[in-house]
Amino acid sequence: MKQYPVAPEGWPFISLALVISIILLMIKPWLAVFGLIPFIFFCFFFRNPARNGPESPHELLSPADGRVMSVTRLDHVEDLDGPAVCITIFLSLFNVHINRAPISGKVYTRRYRPGKYLPAFKSHASELNERNTIGIDAGNRKVLVNQITGFIARRIVCDVTPGDTVRQRARFGMIRFGSCTELICPADVQIKVQVGDKVRAGQTVMAAFPESVSSGPVVTEP
């Protein structure tokens, strides 16, 4: 996918704000500020910075920018055929909202589930809110990413479908205006982050598979 400095999903908002600014400018110059402020905000919110680097096949990179809200062990996840670890990332309005693939592989599942629009920082929001799930098969390893809406976020964008191949760090979607993203990986990974850490999509190492395990934080129980 072609890299744009501003995500295409933001173009309609930016264009509308620009048109309003021009109209207000023609009425009275000082009124243009009421269109310029949202124009600047939309350019900032929909920013799409490049996240480049070498592939790390034994590491899982963050699928989103934000702050780690929780690291939780799950007894069984059907899509992973066993126990797992769920790392939950909260995205504020000021974070980049592009979702990126944590590892290279083939998309083997995609599921949409309607739901509520509770604030994303609430502990039960991930269970009740609208969500989209994709699964990536990286050979002998599978991981899941959940895109979850929040109180302000009302639109999930997902660019991939089952059968598509994704590359680590590549964009696969976004969530508009504040949200939550979950990375669910097999229980035998070594977690590299802890609650409160700030993470960046396609840059922060969230977990490592056994081939490259080294010391790191211990997973917290729910």
User: Is the distance from CB of 153 to CB of 177 less than 8 angstroms?
Assistant: yes
User: Which comes out higher in pLDDT, residue 72 or 178?
Assistant: 72
* CATH number belonging to domain 59-212: 2.70.70
Per residue in 98-114, pLDDT (tens digit) is: 999 999 999 999 999 88
Average of per-residue pLDDT across 180-184: 95
User: Is the distance from CB of 157 to CB of 173 less than 8 angstroms?
Assistant: yes
Average of per-residue pLDDT across 43-50: 88
Is the predicted pLDDT of residue 176 greater than 90, yes or no?
A: no
Q: Please count the other Cβ atoms lying within 10 Å of the Cβ belonging to residue 45.
A: 22
- Sheet architecture: strand order including 198-199: 165-166, 105-113, 131-137, 142-149, 179-186, 82-91, 66-77, 198-199
Say what the pLDDT of residue 215 is.
39
Say what the pLDDT of residue 128 is.
77
**Where exactly are the structural domains of the chain?**
8-45, 59-212
Token reading at 158: 């997902």
The model's pTM is 0.84
Say what the pLDDT of residue 200 is.
96
Say what the pLDDT of residue 153 is.
54
Q: Count CA atoms within 13 Å of residue 74 on its CB side.
A: 22
Average pLDDT, the chain: 87
User: Is the distance from CB of 157 to CB of 195 less than 8 angstroms?
Assistant: no
Would you call 123 a catalytic residue per the annotation? no
The single residue of 21, 62, 126, 179 carrying the catalytic annotation is 179
